[in-house]
């Protein structure tokens, strides 16, 4: 049986903290990426894909992925492309800034505004262990 002196020692606390950060301990993120396209096959060339967790255990782990010019994106939780925790997410997609923010084109943003809101986008996704490919179809 461990004595109270040993249980409360700084060494034990530091060891416990170090073990928490050892790879394989705690939840892991999984690669998530894909392409954002319109019905005509063209791609959204700039913007952000946002994941909002629906599971209680992931409530503080919102994720984002920056859309590249070819329409592809990779999701990240702590860093730009480090992946996403397993679980259920609602998804939103926002367009990048117009070429001239002071004078946006009349058809700006290039996608339907409903996709920029989690509640109206209609997009839901479940992240599973391993690589997750999610191609997202949006409307103009």
Tokens 């001239």 appear where?
A: 100
63, part of any domain: yes
Residue 6 lies in a domain: no
Task: Identify the pLDDT of residue 20.
Answer: 44
* Residue carrying structure tokens 């409903």: 114
Q: What is the pLDDT of residue 96?
A: 86
Within a domain: 4:
no
* Inside any domain, residue 20: no
Does residue 70 lie in a domain region? yes
* Residue 126 backbone dihedrals phi, psi, to 5 degrees: -115, 125
> Which residues lie across from 51 on neighbouring strands?
63, 91
Cα separation of 79 and 90, whole Å? 20
- pLDDT score at 109: 87
Is the residue at 5 inside a domain? Answer: no
**What is the model's pLDDT at position 7?**
52
Residues 79, 55, 29: CA angle, nearest 5 degrees? 30
Query: How many domains in the chain?
Result: 1
CATH number reported for the structural domain that contains residue 111 in this entry:
2.60.40.1120
Residue 94 lies in a domain: yes
- Taking CA atoms, 26 is separated from 6, 65, 87, in Å, by 25, 23, 15
- Within-domain flag for 103: yes
Q: What integer pLDDT is reported at residue 26 of this predicted model?
A: 59
Domain that holds residue 91: 28-137
pLDDT number for residue 21: 46
pLDDT tens string, the chain, 140 residues long: the values are 555 554 555 544 444 444 444 444 557 999 999 999 999 999 999 999 999 999 877 677 789 999 999 999 999 999 999 999 999 999 999 998 887 888 888 888 899 999 999 999 999 999 999 999 999 999 99
């Amino acid at each position: 049986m461990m004595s109270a002196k040993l249980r409360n020692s700084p060494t034990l606390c530091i060891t416990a903290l170090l073990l928490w950060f050892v790879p394989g301990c705690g939840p892991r993120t999984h690669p998530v990426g894909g392409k954002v396209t319109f019905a005509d096959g063209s791609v959204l060339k700039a913007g952000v894909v946002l994941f909002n967790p629906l599971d209680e255990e992931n409530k503080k782990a919102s994720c984002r992925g920056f859309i590249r010019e070819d329409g592809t994106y990779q999701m990240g939780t702590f860093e730009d492309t480090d992946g996403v925790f397993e679980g259920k997410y609602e998804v939103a997609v926002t367009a990048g800034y117009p070429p001239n923010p002071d004078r946006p084109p009349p058809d700006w943003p290039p996608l339907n505004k409903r996709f920029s809101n989690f509640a109206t986008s209609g997009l839901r996704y479940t992240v599973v262990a391993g690589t997750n490919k999610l191609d997202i179809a949006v409307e103009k």
